[in-house]
Amino acid sequence: MNHPRRITLALAACSALLAAGGALAQAAPAKLKVGLMLPYTGTFAALGTAIENGFRLHVAENGGKLAGREIEFVRVDDESDPAKASDNVNKLIKRDNVDVLVGTVHSGVAMAMAKVAKDTGTLLIVPNAGADAVTGPMCAPNIFRSSFSNWQPGYAMGEMVAKKGHKKVVTITWKYAAGDESVRGFKEGFEKSGGKVVKELSLPFPNVEFQALLTEIAASKPDAVYTFFAGGGAVKFVKDYAAAGLKKHIPLYGAGFLTDGTLEAQGLDADGLLTTLHYADSLDNPRDKAFRLAYAKTYKLQPDVYAVQGYDAAQMLGVGLAAVKGDIGKKAEFAEALRRARIDSPRGAFTLSKSHNPVQDIYLRQVTGKENKVVGVASKALPDPGRGCRI
Ligand code: PHB
């Protein structure tokens, strides 16, 4: 091959390479894989679905993308089973190579997720589970929560029940992190304001044989009862409390999960119940109105607190990703953006505490027909204390 011909060939090869490079530079960035680890079966099944619906709604509103990156989902049913949690989360990280973990509902499962997220540095956004430890001793720069801590609604209700003049309260819940911590929060708010929790009743998660415990409540004759139940268990508890004849004599108060997403099934047995939560059905803000309309149109369902938390988990991911221009590897900048962000939530705008938990208003709500109507704000901009967190 003579010299000039070699040069021509080399030039041709170079320009082909340059063209290919140009095409690559213009190609869409790789999809961002979101691992949804949620309960799709069991007592919390409806909660998992609402979270996924909310998350997908925000992504759809942005044309299937967040910060320019197309979103791809991988789903795992965690069955609200802590024993299967580490295997499930490791599969998402190692087999499916997800970029982000989003989950879950159950506090015990969420703590297992947080441990793996902390060990591997994988970004985790918790769209429900309130486990105090997740934004307490287990907190980490790559772990965020779009929901609440179990302490928050409990504490607000403790203060509220004391304000109502009740002195002697019995608590009843499932015996696991969420129930224990919700009751602990309640007790802290109630007893510092002069009340006394005289008995703490519980049964294993997710049991719903309440009869013996309801008999014990009747015998104790407290001024009021405080409870944490959610999902299918909350439906049954509210119905059993009324059927046992207790509703007329001993006021029942709860963390708002007792009546959120459950009113259709609880019917009149829930009517009048007062609960505390960071969301309600009758918030008078345009952001919520638009969200509820879009959700109802898309899913032919009314949204609930779980749908909001899923929506906000996607919003938080979007805010962080926008700050790093889609490069999720820039962990410090991602975290910094979220620490400074004001999330424009349907619940009302919120910021994140140092331990990455929402600082938010806790509403007092009352069941009226099929709605949790706002009665007032029980606690304004309530931060979780974040005890034991060092970031
Ligand atoms: C929890 O396990 O943290 C939990 C579960 C369901 C709820 C709220 C909290 O509705």
Rounded to an integer, the average pLDDT of 219-223 is 98
pLDDT bracket for residue 149 (50, 70, 90): very high
Of 25, 143, 37, 155, the residue nearest 90 (C-alpha): 37
pLDDT bracket for residue 3 (50, 70, 90): low
- Structural contact between residues 170 and 219, judged by C-beta atoms closer than 8 angstroms: no
300 dihedral zone (left: phi>0; alpha: psi -120 to 50; beta): left
Query: What phi, psi does 27 have (nearest 5°)?
Result: -60, 150
**Ligand 1, atom nearest to 234 Cα:** 10
pLDDT of residue 349: 98
Ligand 1 centroid to 153 CA: how many Å? 11
Q: Is the pLDDT of residue 26 over 80?
A: no
Ligand 1 centroid to 6 CA: how many Å? 70
Q: Is the pLDDT of residue 132 over 90?
A: yes
pLDDT bracket for residue 5 (50, 70, 90): low
d(CA 194, CA 128): 31
Radius of gyration of the chain (CA): 24
Helices 286-299 and 305-323 pack at an angle, to 10 degrees, of 110
Q: Is the pLDDT of residue 2 over 50?
A: no
DSSP 197: E
Ligand 1 centroid to 110 CA: how many Å? 10
d(CA 222, CA 252): 11
Percent of the chain with pLDDT over 70: 93
pLDDT bracket for residue 27 (50, 70, 90): confident
Percent of the chain with pLDDT over 90: 92
Q: Which residues approach ligand 1 with their CB closer than 6 A? A: 44, 105-107, 128-131, 150, 178, 230, 257
Ligand 1 centroid to 259 CA: how many Å? 13
Rounded to an integer, the average pLDDT of 382-391 is 96
Ligand 1 centroid to 107 CA: how many Å? 6
pLDDT of residue 29: 84
pLDDT of residue 6: 54
Summarised one tens digit per residue, pLDDT across range 259-286 is 999 999 999 999 999 999 999 998 989 9
Ligand 1 centroid to 247 CA: how many Å? 24
Summarised one tens digit per residue, pLDDT across range 50-80 is 999 999 999 999 999 999 999 999 999 999 9
For ligand 1, mutation pick of 105, 228, 278 (most atoms within 8 Å of CB)? 105
For ligand 1, mutation pick of 38, 47, 106 (most atoms within 8 Å of CB)? 106
**Ligand 1, atom nearest to 176 Cα:** 2
Ligand 1 centroid to 50 CA: how many Å? 13
Ligand 1 centroid to 227 CA: how many Å? 12
- Structural contact between residues 83 and 53, judged by C-beta atoms closer than 8 angstroms: no
For ligand 1, mutation pick of 51, 128, 276 (most atoms within 8 Å of CB)? 128
d(CA 110, CA 149): 12
Locate all alpha helices (DSSP H) within 98-176, ordered by sequence. Answer: 107-120, 151-163
Q: Whose CA is nearest to atom 9 of ligand 1?
A: 129
Calculate ∠ Cα 314-38-49, nearest 5°.
75
Instruction: Write the DSSP assignment of 225-244 as a string of letters.
Output: EEEE--HHHHHHHHHHHHHT
pLDDT of residue 81: 98
| Side-chain-side CA neighbours of residue 316 (13 Å) | 34
Ligand 1 centroid to 261 CA: how many Å? 13
Rounded to an integer, the average pLDDT of 173-198 is 98
Beta strands in 28-67 (DSSP E): 32-38, 65-66
pLDDT of residue 25: 54
Summarised one tens digit per residue, pLDDT across range 289-331 is 999 999 999 999 999 999 999 999 999 999 999 999 999 999 9
Q: Whose CA is nearest to atom 3 of ligand 1?
A: 129
For ligand 1, mutation pick of 78, 111, 132, 150 (most atoms within 8 Å of CB)? 150
Burial zone of 83 (CB within 10 Å; 0-12 exposed, 13-18 middle, 19+ buried): exposed
pLDDT bracket for residue 14 (50, 70, 90): very low
